[in-house]
Amino acid sequence: MSDADDALVVFTPSGRRGRFPVGTPVLEAARALGVDIDSVCGGRGLCGRCQVDLCEGHFSKHGVASWATHLTAKSDAEQAWEKRRGPLRDGRRLSCSTQLLGDAVIDVPSSSQVHRQIVRKRAEVLDIELDPIVRLYYVEVQEPDMHVPASDLRRLKDALAYEWHLADLENDIRVVQQLQEALRRGGWGVTVAVYDDRRIIGVWPGFQSQVYGMAVDVGSTTIAAHLCNLQTGEVVASAGRMNPQIRFGEDLMSRVSYIMMNPGGDQAMTRSVRDALNELTLELATEANVHVDAILEATFVGNPIMQSLVFGINPVELGGAPFALATDEAIDGLWATEMDLVIHPNARVYGLPCIAGHVGADTAGMILSETPYLGEELMLLVDVGTNAEIVLGNRHRLLACSSPTGPAFEGAQISGGQRAAAGAIERVRIDPLTLEPRYKVIGCELWSDEPGFDDAVAPHGVTGICGSGIIEVIAEMYLAGIINQDGVVQGGLAARSERIVADGRTFSYVLHCNDSRTLAITQNDIRAIQLAKAALYAGIRLLMEQFGADHVDRIRLAGAFGAHIDVKYAMILGLIPDCDLEHVTSAGNAAGTGARIALLSRKARREIEEVVLRVEKVETATEPRFQDHFVGAMAIPHRHDPFPQLRTQVTLPAATEESSAASRGGRRRRRQGVSP
- Note whether 150 binds a copy of itself by CB under 8 A: yes
Instruction: Pick between residue 332 and residue 580 the one whose CB is nearest to a copy of itself.
Output: 332
User: According to CB under 8 A, which one of 117, 151, 254, 286 is a site residue for a copy of itself?
Assistant: 151
- Note whether 325 binds a copy of itself by CB under 8 A: yes
- Note whether 495 binds a copy of itself by CB under 8 A: no
**Number of residues binding to a copy of itself, judged by CB under 8 A:** 43
Q: Which residues contact 366 (CB under 8 A, 6 or more apart)?
A: 381, 383, 389, 391, 558, 587, 590, 591, 594
Note the maximum CA span of the chain.
Answer: 104
User: According to CB under 8 A, which one of 57, 322, 459, 676 is a site residue for a copy of itself?
Assistant: 322
Contact 457, 395 (CB under 8 A): no
User: According to CB under 8 A, which one of 33, 55, 161, 176 is a site residue for a copy of itself?
Assistant: 176
- Using CB atoms within 10 A of its CB, is residue 631 exposed (0-12), middle (13-18) or buried (19+)? middle
- Note whether 187 binds a copy of itself by CB under 8 A: no
Instruction: Pick between residue 199 and residue 460 the one whose CB is nearest to a copy of itself.
Output: 199
Instruction: Pick between residue 622 and residue 656 the one whose CB is nearest to a copy of itself.
Output: 622
Instruction: Pick between residue 144 and residue 375 the one whose CB is nearest to a copy of itself.
Output: 144
- Note whether 356 binds a copy of itself by CB under 8 A: yes
- Note whether 146 binds a copy of itself by CB under 8 A: yes
- Note whether 154 binds a copy of itself by CB under 8 A: yes
Stretch that binds a copy of itself, among 32-40, 173-181, 230-238, 281-289 (CB under 8 A): 173-181
* 338-372 b/e (C-beta count within 10 Å ≥ 16 → b): ebebbbbebbbbbbbbbbbbbbbbbbbbbbbbbbb
* Chain centroid offset of residue 575 CA: 23
Please report how close the Cβ of residue 602 comes to a copy of itself at its closest, in angstroms: 17
- Note whether 362 binds a copy of itself by CB under 8 A: no
Residue 368 dihedral angles phi and psi, to the nearest 5°: -65, -35
User: According to CB under 8 A, which one of 32, 324, 422, 502 is a site residue for a copy of itself?
Assistant: 324
Instruction: Pick between residue 233 and residue 304 the one whose CB is nearest to a copy of itself.
Output: 304
User: According to CB under 8 A, which one of 11, 20, 311, 537 is a site residue for a copy of itself?
Assistant: 311
Stretch that binds a copy of itself, among 15-23, 148-156, 251-259, 416-424 (CB under 8 A): 148-156
Contact 383, 238 (CB under 8 A): no
Distance CA 214, CA 503 (A): 52
Contact 557, 571 (CB under 8 A): no
Stretch that binds a copy of itself, among 130-138, 327-335, 491-499, 624-632 (CB under 8 A): 327-335
Stretch that binds a copy of itself, among 150-158, 280-288, 483-491, 648-656 (CB under 8 A): 150-158
- Note whether 263 binds a copy of itself by CB under 8 A: no
Contact 443, 423 (CB under 8 A): yes
Q: Specify the pairing of strand 348-351 against strand 295-302.
A: parallel
Instruction: Pick between residue 144 and residue 244 the one whose CB is nearest to a copy of itself.
Output: 144
β-bridge partners, 129: 117
- What's the order of all strands across the beta sheet hosting 189-195? 134-140, 189-195, 199-205, 170-171
Distance CA 331, CA 461 (A): 47
Instruction: Pick between residue 43 and residue 357 the one whose CB is nearest to a copy of itself.
Output: 357
Distance CA 433, CA 49 (A): 66
- Note whether 203 binds a copy of itself by CB under 8 A: no
Amino acid at 76: D
Q: What angle do the packed helices 624-633 and 523-547 form, to 10 degrees?
A: 130
- Note whether 619 binds a copy of itself by CB under 8 A: yes
Contact residues: a copy of itself, CB under 8 A: 144-147, 149-154, 173, 176-177, 179-181, 311-314, 316-317, 321-329, 331, 334, 337-338, 354-357, 617, 619, 621-622
